[in-house]
Amino acid sequence: MTKRQLFYGLNFLILGLSVWAVVRDNTREWKDYQTEFKRLEVSRLKDALSNAATDAEKESLGAALQAAKRQGKAIRQVLANDLGKADRCVTCHVGLDPYANPGLSTPYTEHPYKASEVPEHKSHNLTKFACTSCHMGQGLATTVEDAHGRVAHWEEPMLTGPSIQAACVRCHGDFKTLKGAETAKRGKELIDRLGCVGCHSFNGVGGEISVDLGDIADKPTSRIDWSHTGECHGEHCGALEKRDWNVKNWIELHFTRDPIVLVPGDPEAKQCAPKTKCEPVSPSGMPPFYKELSKEDAVAITAYLMGQTANKYPSDYFVYAAPAKEPAFANPTAHGQYVFQKYGCAGCHGEGGKEGRRNYNAKANDQTKMEEGLEPTLTKVVGNYTREELRKKIHDGVPASAIAKFKEDGPMPPLYMPKWNEKIKGQELEDLITYLFSIAEKQEVW
């Protein structure tokens, strides 16, 4: 090749690459959506025009048609300055843009609802809330994948379906009474029923065995060990793709799979550094709930938990609920049952104390494996205690080190009976004991 040929060739190559850059910059996904919107809007107005009865109607529709035809392509955004939001969702969901489509008359790309008919949209002004303060996702983005938050390095995926009710929980203290927040309400009820607070706390209120869930929705993806959610083949990892590695899916997995699969620990002490001894580490202490919960239950609990965030909006965005009153009870047994639920006893002992849940490597009857270790089933054991003994047991708890192990060199059981002396006392304690005796089966010895 001569220098001259090189000179021309390279100049054309650079020109070509620059043209490629220009083309790439100008072919953006959102433009297709706006083209389609314009087509729909023009055809709708044309139809309306041909059916128009009066001259005045014709005139206004004609003007609207001309305006629609003149409509250029542009990135649109909704600003909510109080929240620092600039959401470009309306760039594709043009039908929702109050400026491009004041009557919200063409519902194009506002699936699955007609936005104007969603009552929440009426009460949550777009210029005050924008889109992502409820729906999450990435408001600044203008491609489908990025905007909906299904990309790596974006931690807030768009909440779809009933998950969106997490947004209600974030601001509405009284979300349980809201119409449309039924899933979140159900999630909260499940959390109360299952006794999550026996081990978990919410903003410091609750058990201390496991993680505080008060800001669980803010948990960064990098703090999660994804190793056991499934083998990875490229971007596909078991049930989840890598771009779906976010806290919402992590929470949900805890109710659709056995937590000891997600967090297996090191029960055989195999992960020691070379030439060292190390202790076995028990897997997740969380009992398996996946058998008794449906997919809808898992979604409901996740929706409620995704509402638990420390990222607070300005106070005028909040609807505070009146502080809940302690309900009154007719008899001590009913009160005891309430106390049983209030402190999450069911988390370990099962609902109504009927079924002790898994406690890894704790000694239980008829056990062949460490994962068959169980917490005491209260209905079977309470009968062996006197009232005084039971009071002392609840008061002092049983430390993990005092729990009999199934395998002596196995890990320490992760669950244990906390000291309740500072939490359950007085009338609550007495009524709880009364309740416990009321459920005890006295015939069997455990």
Return residues touching another protein (CB under 8 A): 3, 6-7, 10-11, 13-14, 17-18, 20-22, 24-25, 75, 84, 86, 88, 138, 140-143, 146, 153-155, 204, 208-212, 220-227, 232, 263, 265-266, 269, 271-276, 278-283, 285, 399-402, 412
Nearest Cα neighbor of 199 from 415, 356, 398, 399 is: 415
Pick the closer one to another protein by CB: 55 or 231.
231
Beta bridge partners of 236: 233, 241
Pick the closer one to another protein by CB: 32 or 225.
225
Smallest separation, CB 181 to another protein (Å): 29
Pick the closer one to another protein by CB: 15 or 67.
15
Smallest separation, CB 108 to another protein (Å): 21
Pick the closer one to another protein by CB: 233 or 325.
233
Q: What secondary structure letter does DSSP report for 352?
A: G
Smallest separation, CB 140 to another protein (Å): 4
Cα–Cα distance for residue pair 208/229, rounded to 1 Å: 26
Smallest separation, CB 103 to another protein (Å): 27
Smallest separation, CB 360 to another protein (Å): 11
Smallest separation, CB 183 to another protein (Å): 27
Smallest separation, CB 343 to another protein (Å): 18
**Main-chain phi, psi angles of 79, to 5 degrees:** -105, 135
Q: Which are the contacts of 283, defined by CB distance < 8 A and separation ≥ 6?
A: 259, 260, 263, 264, 265, 267, 360, 371, 414
Pick the closer one to another protein by CB: 63 or 144.
144
Pick the closer one to another protein by CB: 166 or 417.
417
CA atoms within 13 A on the CB side of 349: 23
Pick the closer one to another protein by CB: 220 or 314.
220
Long-range contacts of the stretch 218-225 (C-beta < 8 A, 24+): 218/247, 218/309, 218/310, 218/311, 219/247, 219/250, 220/155, 220/247, 221/155, 221/245, 221/246, 221/247, 224/250, 225/263
* Chain mean position to CA 424: 30
Nearest Cα neighbor of 96 from 70, 82, 116, 79 is: 116
